[in-house]
Amino acid sequence: MLPSLGATSKIFSPDVTNNITSQLVSQNHTYWEWTGVAQSNQEFNTWYLAGTLPNWQGTPLALVILIEGDNQSIAQGIGRQLIQNIHQALK
């Protein structure tokens, strides 16, 4: 966990945050997630992003996983397992 760097500031309004997370929230999960693949020349990289929802009362959490190659199911599987385990521990 990173230490606080001082005063907080708002980047997005609550309405924008709720709109974005409602589109990314996983069914039957209490977090949002997104998986994607980027290609540069012939190289692929898969990334998985996830985080706690705006109404989460615990410590805010964001998770980023990057895997070389086109492996969306592997990235999502690893990411879901990690965020669920950490999410449970922070409750």
Give the pLDDT means over successive 10-residue stretches in the chain (91 positions): 77 85 81 92 93 83 93 94 83 67
Length of the chain: 91
Number of domains in the chain: 1
Burial class (CB in 10 A: 0-12, 13-18, 19+), 45: middle
Cα dist from 69 to 58, 62, 75, 79, whole Å? 34, 22, 10, 16
Gap between the Cα atoms of 68 and 76, Å rounded: 13
38 inside domain: yes
76 inside domain: yes
58 inside domain: yes
In single-letter form, the type of residue at position 78 comes to I
Range of the domain at 47: 29-90
Q: Is the pTM of this model over 0.95?
A: no
Q: Which two tokens stand for residue 47?
A: 């990334």
60 inside domain: yes
9 inside domain: no
